Structure 1
């Protein structure tokens, strides 16, 4: 659904796409309805895109490239940056690092990490947040989150290590059906050759030591082999590059992994939990 406030908040890529699409449409002498027919969208959808009431979706960008691209690849190239503009502000700078990472080491403490969420789980999570978001914005954020999964298929392949708190697996988001599907998807992810998934048991800390009690973290190794740490909480984020601080987080993450269940045990636990949500 188009929203008037989008016209004020639309980013520079959305504005560039709208202006270019309008210019190329007029060059061909087409009305918005004619372009919509060629794209497989309504004339109203084209109008919303050109006026920024509803910036171009990923699907529309694909069709714009086919119909108006003229072999330039501009609309295709815009897809990555349009997705970037749809992310929450605090995540935008980090998202490109995530997509280009050589290695990701992730620790999630409250919900399933975004890279491993199903569509239904992501929609329930985003739609159930506070303050409530308009349905159009929920769908926009769900689409942007799912788009991050291209990292799993990218070449060269990224190595991904993720540790999930056991409490994350037991927290019902949306419905038992959604959680069952989510557990099944997690099990599929855990079987990927480039993914190592481990679960940190609920009883971690019984001996008086819990290295993960300071919250979630993401450790990134870039293609240039720089090492960074990304932290996010309550819609605020921090990207750390200081080598000494990054080293401390890396040591903490290593301790968390050491206390977690092994990959095979973790997969067994996830499969068992999937069976319980019936």
Structure 2
């Protein structure tokens, strides 16, 4: 819903889109009503976009590119950055790194990693969190999370390895059916050529060594072949670039990996938990 508060909190990208769209409309000699007819929106919606009372939605940006963009891609580029700005603040910098990564090595200890979540699992997780969010914000975050899965099919393909604590697979989020669907989705993800999925078993520490006690981590290799570590806990995040620290985390990850089940055993375990009969 359009509001004066939105005008005060609009992001830099939303402000840029509003100004460009307004200038391009005026150059064409269109009224807001005329532009709205071209876009498929009301004059009120165009006005709200131009004043940032209601910044352009994802769908409106596609139409702005079609009607005003002249093949420049300017509104589609803005669409990418506006998506990022709608993400939780602590995640925005990492989201750009994830989108462009050459490789990712992920260890998760509490819930299924966002890249691998189904829509139902994500909705149950986000909608059931605290503090509670509005239905509109829950749906926005769910769709943004789903959009991250485009990484799996990006060209060139990134190499993605994920180690999932077995406790995550046994923790029911949403319902038994939602969880079963999520487990089956993991099975499908594991069959991708660029994905390796491993499970850290519940008894990983029974022989006196346990490398996973410090929690989850994401190791990122950038297109420039820089190596970074991303940590997130309690809605706070930390991005580490210091080579010595990154090396320590990489060594810890390698140790966790050595204590995990192999790809075939991991897949068999997930299938059993999903109730798949061979």
TM-score (norm 2): 0.93
The 1:239–1:177 alpha-carbon spacing in structure 2 relative to 1, beyond 3 Å, is same
Q: Which residue of 2 aligns with 1:101?
A: 101
Q: How far does the alpha carbon of each residue in 1:203-237 deviate from its partner, in whole angstroms, 9 at most, with x for none?
A: 12112221111111000111111111110101111
Q: Indicate the SS of the match to 1:5.
A: helix
In 1, distance between residues paired with 2:111 and 2:195? 18
Q: Pick closer, same or farther for the CA change 1:42–1:189 going to 2, 3 Å.
A: farther
The Cα of 1:62 is off from its aligned counterpart by: 1.4
Q: Secondary structure at the match of 2:129?
A: coil
Aligned to 2:235: 235
Which residue does 2:8 correspond to in 1? 8
- The residue that corresponds to 2:205 in the other structure is 205
CA gap 1:248/1:275 in 2 versus in 1, 3 angstroms: same
In 2, Cα distance between equivalents of 1:265 and 1:218: 23
| Residue 269, structure 1, aligned to residue 269, structure 2 | yes
SS at match of 1:249: helix
Q: 1:69-110 deviations in whole A, cap 9, x for unaligned?
A: 122221011122111111111111111111111110000100
Question: How do 1:59-70 and structure 2 match up within 5 A?
Answer: 59-70=59-70
| Cα 1:44/1:125, change in 2 over 3 Å | farther
The Cα of 1:275 is off from its aligned counterpart by 2.5
RMSD: 1.8
Moved more, 211-220 or 13-22: 13-22
Match of 1:251 in 2: 251
Q: Decide which moves more: 4-13 or 101-110.
A: 4-13
User: CA-to-partner distance for each residue in 1:38-72, whole Å, 9 max, x for gaps?
Assistant: 22344444333233233222222111111111222
Aligned to 1:172: 172
1:159, 1:74 → 2: CA distance? 30
Counterpart residue number, 2:147: 147
CA distance in 2, matches of 1:46, 1:145: 27
Q: CA deviation at 1:153?
A: 1.2
Write the deviation string for residues 142-176 of structure 1: whole angstroms up to 9, x where unpaired: 22212212211111110000001111111111122
TM-score using structure 1 length: 0.93
Aligned residues: 276
1:132 counterpart residue number? 132
